[in-house]
Chains A and B, each alone.
Chain A
Amino acid sequence: MSYQLIYKRYGEFSILIKWKAIVDKDIIRDINTYKTKILKKEERKIQDCIIGYHSLLIVYKEVLCKVAEKISFLKEIYSFEQSVSSKINRVWTIPVCYNLKYGVDLLDISERTKLSVEEIIQLHINTIYTVYFIGFLPGFLYLGGLNRKLFFDRKSTPRLKVPKGAVAIGGKQTGVYPEKSAGGWNIIGNTPLRFFDVTKEVPCFAKSGDEIKFTSISEEEYFKIKGEVKKGLYKIEKKVIVNS
């Protein structure tokens, strides 16, 4: 599917490409396919590609001169046939301990949504989420696909300290805090996995367009996995799907 895109110069070095302003799985897939195609042609000239829900920001290494020409070139790339490599999708399975000790807001959500804690957990693990993009913090994944029943407003006053690995719900989204930070989302559990590790060549295993599945683990398994992650022995379960 082809979308109507808007191209805009943004500062001296960048071009912003915008899709329709909605949160949509197909749009994020299209953004990633387009990004792959652009990188194939222009990788050496590009410093960074920043993905948003409905946008792709291409930051070039040099100041842009012939912008109109550049944009027609980008438009031409958009119309190229999609390559096979960009149709591959990865699904990561993330173990989460939804123990009340970690899921400090579970009881509050349960009370206000009239769902039992067990129902909340089931609704959270029975969905495959799409990684829209990474922002806010290094390795913070914006995940879409949350079950409507779990839509839950952010806290009116953010917590000053949300622990590393906290799995949380904020509005229509769910996500994992890669590091200890301040944050306003409602915490429902904790994962022993590291979503961001600067010592790795690729510090963040997931990327925009990937999919995420959560699975419920006991506290005992939580500590076992945490130990394995520390030693670098834990291998995150990954499924590769080729879309036709």
Chain B
Amino acid sequence: MIKVLSSGIYTAVHDLGRTGYREMGIPVAGVMDRYATMFANMILNNKEEDAVIEIVFGSSKFEFLESCSISISGADFSAKIDNEFTLMNTVLEVEKGSVLSFGKRNFGVRTYIAVKGGFLTETVLGSRGFYKGITNRHVFKKGVIIPINKEQKKIKETRSKVKFNKDYIRTNNIEVFEGPEYELLSIDQKEKLKQLEFTISSSNSRMGYILNEKIKNSFPSMLSSGVLPGTVQLTPSGKLIVLMRDCQVTGGYPRILQLTEESINILSQKTTKDSIKFKIKRFS
């Protein structure tokens, strides 16, 4: 078990999300950065779908109520165990009573804490991931105790040879495919999409990121249709919204671009004022 001493800006449990229920209006949700999550689970020899803790920036703090093996991947917030700096992207043996804290932000926005065996919160519709209205909680508060799968607390073999490629966190190239309504854009609009450097507004969350720069919007209104995490919608004001993991299942704005899976991970490590450039990719 691990106790939340401080829940900071955002502390929640997530896995790869809730699939198969989008027809009922239920979003997939799940971890924002799948690469970091998969890496953290992989080095512990966990299953891909084991639940992890997602934190935003570095103000969360935890106490281990039992000894266990953990790993930390994603954004770098100068992780410390018992006040001593610790490595990321490697297996860490943590003793009972130890405290995991974070400090100065070096890069990124979201970091993931995995534990051998995975965290055990309630499973709702096939996922442990928090989502308001679906799970009883949508964030952790101070004092909460999170159970760990007791079956496999320690590991013997580690896959320490695999290297975490953190370059993706720093890049501002966002690879996209043309979205279903892309071809309805004018040449001028398409050029703008390719050339402009877009900055992330303060309206950015697990649901979506609104970008500051505008593109002239001449689209007629549209009937609601399915959308996906990573879909870039052009709103009536001309601003773009990049839908993220918690996005609704349908939407009525033109879907002009679609981020690659990798680019959703990249964007999830960005925040207000960060800039991005779209690189349009063709399907091979």
Residues of A with C-beta under 8 A to B180? 8, 10, 16, 18
> Does B226 have its Cβ within 8 Å of any Cβ on chain A?
yes
Which residue of chain A is the closest to B136 with respect to CB atoms? A198
Interface residue tally on B, bucketed by range: 20 to 34
In Å, the complex CA distance between A9 and B260 comes to 13
User: Do the beta carbons of B25 and A198 come within 8 Å of each other?
Assistant: no
Determine the main DSSP class of B at the interface with A: loop
In Å, the complex CA distance between A165 and B225 comes to 24
Residues 2-36 of chain B: 1 if any A CB is under 8 Å from the residue's CB, otherwise 0?
00000000000000000111111110100000000
Q: Closest CB-CB distance, B224 to chain A, in whole Å?
A: 5
Partner pick for B134 among A59, A138, A140, CB 8 A cutoff: A138
User: Do the beta carbons of B25 and A57 come within 8 Å of each other?
Assistant: no
User: Do the beta carbons of A67 and B283 come within 8 Å of each other?
Assistant: yes
Residues of B with C-beta under 8 A to A55? 225-226
Partner pick for B261 among A12, A57, A142, A207, CB 8 A cutoff: A12
User: Do the beta carbons of A140 and B226 come within 8 Å of each other?
Assistant: no
> Does B238 have its Cβ within 8 Å of any Cβ on chain A?
no
Q: Nearest 9 CB-CB pairs, A to B?
A: A57-B226, A50-B226, A135-B250, A52-B225, A48-B22, A134-B25, A204-B24, A53-B223, A11-B258
In Å, the complex CA distance between A56 and B226 comes to 7
Interface residue tally on A, bucketed by range: 35 or more
Residues 125-141 of chain A: 1 if any B CB is under 8 Å from the residue's CB, otherwise 0?
00000000111111110
> Does B162 have its Cβ within 8 Å of any Cβ on chain A?
no
Residues 201-226 of chain A: 1 if any B CB is under 8 Å from the residue's CB, otherwise 0?
00110011000000000000000000
Given contacts A23-B223, A53-B223, A57-B228, 19 further A-B contacts (CB under 8 A): A11-B260, A16-B226, A48-B28, A49-B22, A50-B226, A51-B226, A52-B223, A55-B225, A57-B225, A57-B226, A59-B228, A134-B24, A134-B249, A138-B134, A198-B125, A203-B24, A203-B125, A204-B24, A204-B25
User: Do the beta carbons of A138 and B24 come within 8 Å of each other?
Assistant: yes
Which residue of chain B is the closest to A67 with respect to CB atoms? B283
Residues of B with C-beta under 8 A to A198? 124-125, 134
Chain B residues within 8 Å of A, Cβ to Cβ:
19-26, 28, 124-125, 133-134, 177, 179-180, 222-226, 228, 230-231, 248-250, 255, 258, 260-261, 283
Residues of B with C-beta under 8 A to A16? 180, 225-226
User: Do the beta carbons of A21 and B226 come within 8 Å of each other?
Assistant: no
In Å, the complex CA distance between A21 and B21 comes to 25
Most interface-central of B22, B223, B226 (chain A CB within 10 A): B226
In Å, the complex CA distance between A57 and B249 comes to 10
Known A-B contacts A10-B228, A21-B223, A53-B223; A136 and B248 likewise in contact (beta carbons under 8 Å): yes
> Does A47 have its Cβ within 8 Å of any Cβ on chain B?
yes
Partner pick for B177 among A11, A53, A138, A203, CB 8 A cutoff: A11
Residues of B with C-beta under 8 A to A196? 24-25, 133
> Does A30 have its Cβ within 8 Å of any Cβ on chain B?
no
In Å, the complex CA distance between A196 and B27 comes to 14
Q: Closest CB-CB distance, A52 to chain B, in whole Å?
A: 3
> Does A154 have its Cβ within 8 Å of any Cβ on chain B?
no
In Å, the complex CA distance between A147 and B41 comes to 54
Which residue of chain A is the closest to B261 with respect to CB atoms? A12
Known A-B contacts A10-B258, A53-B223; A48 and B19 likewise in contact (beta carbons under 8 Å): yes
Most interface-central of A55, A140, A198 (chain B CB within 10 A): A198
> Does A14 have its Cβ within 8 Å of any Cβ on chain B?
yes
In Å, the complex CA distance between A50 and B261 comes to 19
Question: Which A3-54 residues have a C-beta within 8 angstroms of B?
Answer: 8-14, 16, 18, 21-23, 47-54
Q: Closest CB-CB distance, B161 to chain A, in whole Å?
A: 26
Known A-B contacts A11-B177, A11-B228, A12-B260; A48 and B20 likewise in contact (beta carbons under 8 Å): yes
